[in-house]
Amino acid sequence: MGFWADVERHLVRYSGAGRFTPEIIEKAEGSYLITESGRRILDFTSGQMSAILGHSHPDIVATLQRQAATLDHLFSGMLSRPVVDLARRLAESLPDPLEKVLLLTTGAEANEAAIRMAKLVTGKHEIVSFARSWHGMTQAAANATYSSGRKGYGPAVPGNFAIPVPFALRPDILDADGELDWQRQLDLGFDLVDAQSVGALAACIVEPILSSGGVIDLPEGYLAALQAKCRERGMLLILDEAQTGLCRTGTWYAFQRDGVVPDILTVSKTLGAGLPLAAVITSAEIEETAHERGYLFFTTHVSDPLVAAVGNTVLDVLERDKLDLRAAESGAFLKDGLRELASRHETITDIRGRGLLVGLELTSDAVGAAVTQKSLELGLHLNVVQLPGMGGVFRIAPPLTATRAELAEGLDILDRALATES
């Protein structure tokens, strides 16, 4: 049977839309995917928003070859130098008191571990997150996810609450100037949480920039105000930097802009640069309390040396090539190019984001779908947010290593795709 017949017969369709990109990908290199027919597709999603060093980066390839030939996997109670080195280096990249590290595989797993730790340390069970949140598909992570996937699976775990997203483009609570009054919105959100809580608020988990929620950047000052709400209630603040961590936004971590230090930080996608690696990072005090109370979260691939070695190489490249500065500069170049497109295409309604995580909003879901399809035909892969009413929002996240020429090529293809919908 043929490839697509095998797809139809044997693959579980794991996204709601149930559609796969109609291309057979043979290999990938740098910022490009290469199909079986030899067609080159510019990758403006960094794989699954993860391959921040591009595909098949030579340093990553060399590390994989060396590490796979020496030490790949261990019993969960055994340690290796790559694991301890990566833990130390992650701690060194972060402000005090974040210094204790648990190395896992995926963002969902890291968020699961973080929420489990918060519940144990606080002795409480209630979790607050944004109404457009995405934190993963495992139990606690899925129960803190509101952007999609909640219907049809039976009751959610009691004690999960959503608060409104401070989205300046579509403000729901206005100040005297007609702008979003995010402080009043936050106050009201927690008034409703308090009314529903049984007095067991454990943690709040949020992304500094909601990616699946539509690339919505939190207003400056919001994270500090949110942390104050948590402190008032004895809650821990968990920041999920799966997509924003490690230079993507032009700083090493997105929360650095706000001068806020979370109680627990999770990083994942960008840490492995496309390989399954994630981390939970917290303070010695929180880790000590969790340990005293018997914290249990070991998995088959906890502290695996193979991916830990890759994580160390990712940090090497980020530091050596100053990719935080490059992401800021490339992001400014990309946004300038998108603004120029907006001046000529009325279908563009908003441009937002930080660094090389940019949201481009179009007039409708239908236009977003059509531009996505046309861009792919022309050689550019883009991702649209799949929320109802948000299908016209592109999450543009090229590799941090993308050249100006590649960014310009992507802008040119997008220009041509938009022209077909004008």
Backbone angles phi, psi at 297, to 5 degrees: -160, 70
202 lies in the same domain as 288: yes
Task: Give a yes or no: residue 192 inside a domain.
Answer: yes
167 lies in the same domain as 314: yes
Residue 182 is a catalytic residue: no
Cα 191 from Cα 188, distance rounded (Å): 5
31 lies in the same domain as 80: no
**Domain boundaries, position 313:** 71-320
Q: Final residue of a domain: which of 304, 320, 336?
A: 320
Written as one letter, the residue type at 127 is I
Q: Which two tokens stand for residue 117?
A: 């730790």
Find the helix or strand (DSSP H, E) in which 216 lies: strand 216-217
Are the beta carbons of 212 and 135 closer than 8 angstroms? no
CB neighbour list of residue 109: distance below 8 Å, 6 or more residues apart: 136, 138, 278, 299
Backbone angles phi, psi at 88, to 5 degrees: -60, -45
Q: pLDDT band for position 296 (50/70/90)?
A: very high
CATH number of the domain that residue 340 is part of? 3.90.1150.10
Q: What is the pLDDT of residue 278?
A: 98
Q: pLDDT band for position 385 (50/70/90)?
A: confident
117 lies in the same domain as 176: yes
C-alpha pair distances (Å), 277 with each of 105, 115, 155: 4, 18, 30
**Which of 422, 420, 371, 410 is closest to 394 using CA atoms?**
371
Given a cut of 70, whether residue 386 has pLDDT beyond it is no
Q: Which of 100, 132, 326, 395 is catalytic?
A: 395
- Per-residue pLDDT of 29-43, as tens digits, reads 999 999 999 999 999
Q: Which of 100, 119, 243, 324 is catalytic?
A: 243
Q: Final residue of a domain: which of 320, 350, 370?
A: 320
264 lies in the same domain as 376: no
Task: Give a yes or no: residue 63 inside a domain.
Answer: no
386 lies in the same domain as 401: yes
What percentage of the chain has pLDDT greater than the value 90?
A: 93
Task: Give a yes or no: residue 64 inside a domain.
Answer: no
Q: pLDDT band for position 207 (50/70/90)?
A: very high
Q: Final residue of a domain: which of 272, 290, 320?
A: 320
Q: Which of 43, 67, 112, 134 is catalytic?
A: 134
Given a cut of 80, whether residue 1 has pLDDT beyond it is no
Q: What is the pLDDT of residue 194?
A: 98
Are the beta carbons of 31 and 399 closer than 8 angstroms? yes
Are the beta carbons of 335 and 352 closer than 8 angstroms? no
Task: Give a yes or no: residue 289 inside a domain.
Answer: yes
- Per-residue pLDDT of 118-138, as tens digits, reads 999 999 999 999 999 999 999
Q: Which of 43, 240, 241, 304 is catalytic?
A: 240
Q: What is the pLDDT of residue 389?
A: 59
Q: pLDDT band for position 391 (50/70/90)?
A: low
| Residue appearing with tokens 């190395």 | 103
**Which of 184, 197, 266, 194 is closest to 225 using CA atoms?**
184
Task: Give a yes or no: residue 270 inside a domain.
Answer: yes
Question: Cα 69 vs. chain centroid, distance in angstroms?
Answer: 31
Cα 394 from Cα 377, distance rounded (Å): 17
Residue 207 is a catalytic residue: yes
Q: What would the mean pLDDT of 351-372 be, rounded to a whole number?
A: 95
Given a cut of 90, whether residue 73 has pLDDT beyond it is yes
Q: Count the domains in the chain.
A: 2
Residue 243 is a catalytic residue: yes
Task: Give a yes or no: residue 94 inside a domain.
Answer: yes
163 lies in the same domain as 244: yes
CATH number of the domain that residue 215 is part of? 3.40.640.10
Average pLDDT, the chain: 96
Q: What would the mean pLDDT of 224-248 be, rounded to a whole number?
A: 98
- Per-residue pLDDT of 174-201, as tens digits, reads 999 999 999 999 999 999 999 999 999 9
Q: What is the dihedral of CA 332, 175, 213, 209, to 10 degrees?
A: 50
**Which of 314, 322, 351, 318 is closest to 335 using CA atoms?**
351
DSSP reduced 3-state for 65? helix
Residue 100 is a catalytic residue: no
Q: pLDDT band for position 354 (50/70/90)?
A: very high
11 lies in the same domain as 47: yes
Written as one letter, the residue type at 58 is P
Q: Is 289 exposed, middle or buried (0-12, 13-18, 19+ CB in 10 A)?
A: middle
DSSP letter at 174 equals: B
Q: Which of 181, 207, 217, 406 is catalytic?
A: 207
313 lies in the same domain as 378: no
Q: What is the pLDDT of residue 111?
A: 98
376 lies in the same domain as 349: yes
246 lies in the same domain as 330: no
Q: pLDDT band for position 301 (50/70/90)?
A: very high
Task: Give a yes or no: residue 267 inside a domain.
Answer: yes
Q: Which of 269, 326, 352, 354 is catalytic?
A: 269
Are the beta carbons of 100 and 287 closer than 8 angstroms? yes
DSSP reduced 3-state for 415? helix
Backbone angles phi, psi at 263, to 5 degrees: -75, -35
Given a cut of 90, whether residue 422 has pLDDT beyond it is no
CA angle 84–102–254, rounded 5-degree value? 100
Residue 316 is a catalytic residue: no
For β-strands 278-283 and 348-354, DSSP reports them as unpaired
Task: Give a yes or no: residue 66 inside a domain.
Answer: no
Q: pLDDT band for position 390 (50/70/90)?
A: low
Please, where are the H alpha helices in 11-52? 46-49
Q: What would the mean pLDDT of 374-403 be, rounded to a whole number?
A: 88
243 lies in the same domain as 102: yes
